Chain A
Amino acid sequence: MSRKSVKFLIPVLSIISALAVSSLIIFMAGRDPVMIFQKMFRGTFGSSYGTGQVVFRMTTLILVALAVAIPFQVRLFNIGAEGQLQMGAFAAAMTGTMLPASVPSSVAIPLCIITAMMAGALWAMVAGVLKVRFGVNEVIATIMLNFIAQGITGYLLTWHFALPSTVHTAPITAAAVIPVFDTVTGWFARSPANLSILLAVGAALLLQVILFQSRFGYEMRAAGLQPEAARFGGINAQMHTLTALGVGGAAAGLGAANIVLGYKHYYEAGMTGGIGFTGIAVALLAGAHPLWILLSALFFGVLEYGGLTVNAYIPKDIFMIIEAITIILVIAFSAVGRQLPQQ
Chain B
Amino acid sequence: MGIAVRLSDISKKFGSFSANSNISLSVEEGTIHALVGENGAGKSTLTKIIYGMHQPTSGELIIADKTVRFTSPRDAIHSGIGMVHQHFMLIPELTVAENIILGNEPCGIFQPLPLQKSKALILKDAEAYGLPVDPEALVASLSIGEQQRVEILKLLYRHAAIMIFDEPTAVLSPSETDRLFATLRSLRDKGKTIILITHKLDEVLAVADMVSVMRKGEIVGTMPAFTATKTELARMMVGRSVLLRVSNPIPSPGETVLSIHHLGFRTAKSEERIHDLSFTIRAGEIYGIAGVEGNGQSELMQALWGLAPSGTVISGEILLKGQSLIGKKPSDIAFMGVSHIPEDRLRHAVIADYTVSENILFGRHRERTFHRGIGFNTRALKHYAEAMISEYAIKCDSPVHQSLSTLSGGNQQKVVLARELNRPAISLLLLAQPTRGVDIGAIEIIHNKIIEARRCGVAILLVSSELEEIIALSTRIGCLYKGSIRHEFTQEEVELKKNSEQEFQKEIGLHIT
Contact = CB atoms under 8 A, between A and B. Distances in A.
Most buried by B among A219, A222, A232: A232
Given A231-B330, A341-B14, A342-B405, A214 B348 contact: no
B129 interface: no
Interface of A: 210, 213-216, 218-219, 221-222, 225-226, 228-235, 341-343
A234 B17 contact: no
Contacts of B406: 342
B504 interface: no
A234 B342 CA distance: 13
A214 B307 CA distance: 26
A215 B354 contact: no
A229 B334 contact: no
Q: What interface size band does chain B fall in?
A: 20 to 34
A215 B365 contact: yes
B329 interface: yes
Contacts of B354: 221-222, 225
Given A215-B365, A218-B358, A222-B362, A231 B374 contact: no
B330 A233 contact: yes
Contacts of B363: 232-234
A231 B302 CA distance: 11
A231 B331 CA distance: 9
A301 to B, nearest CB: 31
A232 B430 CA distance: 12
- Interface on chain A toward B: helix, strand, loop, or mixed SS? helix
A169 to B, nearest CB: 39
B305 interface: yes
Nearest to A213: B375
B362 A343 contact: no
B348 A228 contact: yes
Given A225-B352, A225-B354, A234-B363, 4 more contacts: A214-B374, A232-B340, A342-B406, A343-B17
7 contacts: A210-B374, A214-B374, A222-B362, A226-B347, A232-B349, A343-B16, A343-B17
A222 B353 CA distance: 9
A216 B358 CA distance: 14
A235 B334 CA distance: 12
A7 to B, nearest CB: 12
Nearest to A4: B401
B17 A215 contact: no
B351 A226 contact: yes
A187 B449 CA distance: 66
Contact of A341 (B15, B353, B358): B15
Contact of B366 (A210, A234, A343): A234
Nearest to B405: A342
List of 7 A-B pairs having minimum Cβ-Cβ separation, nearest first? A234-B331, A233-B363, A234-B330, A341-B15, A214-B374, A213-B375, A232-B348
B374 A218 contact: no
A338 to B, nearest CB: 12
Contacts of A343: 15-17
A229 B15 contact: no
- Which residue, A213, A219, A233, has most C-beta atoms of chain B within 10 A? A233
A178 to B, nearest CB: 28
Interface string B309-338: 000000000000000000001110010000
Contacts of B375: 213-215
B376 interface: yes
B124 interface: no
Contacts of A216: 374
B262 interface: no
A343 to B, nearest CB: 6
Given A222-B354, A226-B352, A341 B340 contact: no
Contacts of A219: 365
B297 to A, nearest CB: 16
Given A219-B365, A234-B330, A229 B374 contact: no
